[in-house]
Structure 1
């Protein structure tokens, strides 16, 4: 992979991430302004149009890059006993990360992340829009961004060592996007979550597994105490 290709892919990733942020705002703002009284049908249509279009566009870019690379690693994996055991292990890893985060907060080693505080604030102000974004929209979009497009920007995907390097990089960028550099403890927590998602993708080559894990994690973060 040439330097020019890597730069182009990173630029595309940044543009798509900004589009994601703008799309989130367009879905959330009507509910916040109306204090949660926006009609359900309007919110559902707006969310479907914005996130449906964004996911379709991201998937097109991801598939185009995959075809250009002729990467034999990325493919669909059937859900068999082996994959089921893998998912159970990764779900356990996710809950271990969440438990560690709760322990650090309860012992005042860390505070609740700003990302989580904003999530709960927006959930109170615009519950339907925020639920749709967090549980349905964000997981596929973020997995296509941080696992799909970002890991495609790392050369030599056919080499196992480079795939794990890409996984580590995607985990760190995921942590930075959710916690920033000013909150090192939560940066580590979100990076650990990102590494679990990246591991699912690295071990299977199938984004559906990391998307499923991400949806489960976000559902738990939103609704479980």
Structure 2
């Protein structure tokens, strides 16, 4: 079992999965793809590693520079972790809550992210940061660009676990029309190149229960931040 201070995450590694579209690759942009069910074969090895990371760096809800508490709880692993507070958004080598370095990124995480990047035609992806987000029903992520990374030449690799979510993939202005893409347990979205700075977000998570994760969604995004 993985747990944080508020809500346990009970993981049944042998629950049945009905990934009817597993193995399909959907293009949502010129260099943006959804890899349906790509993570499913990795889960029995990946979830214990995720549990270990979250024991070292539990989820917490951070405050934006504008003073708003995020509805999504966050953690990180790797050489750099993403944080936000009233002073701004940034990557840090140490967890500001504990003062300790972020947990190492498990080798399996890196291998999965690199395999997904290759499937989306991005070779030589070297992630040094994994942001781990926890959504409960009602939690959302507003439209934003991932632009805190030092180099924008590497893609973003984003994996969904647990409850389904509606991903918004927009243009290069916040006001641009967005494509709504349903994401399910085990799906991975990869975007980079000409699509790297597109606005994206997640609509409020709907009520439900997933057989492995209960009433929540875990999102892991891999980046080359430093």
Q: Normalized against structure 2, the TM-score is what?
A: 0.27
Q: Which has the higher strand share?
A: 2
Mark the structure with the bigger radius of gyration: 1
Larger RCO, structures 1/2 (Cα 8 Å, 6+ apart): 1
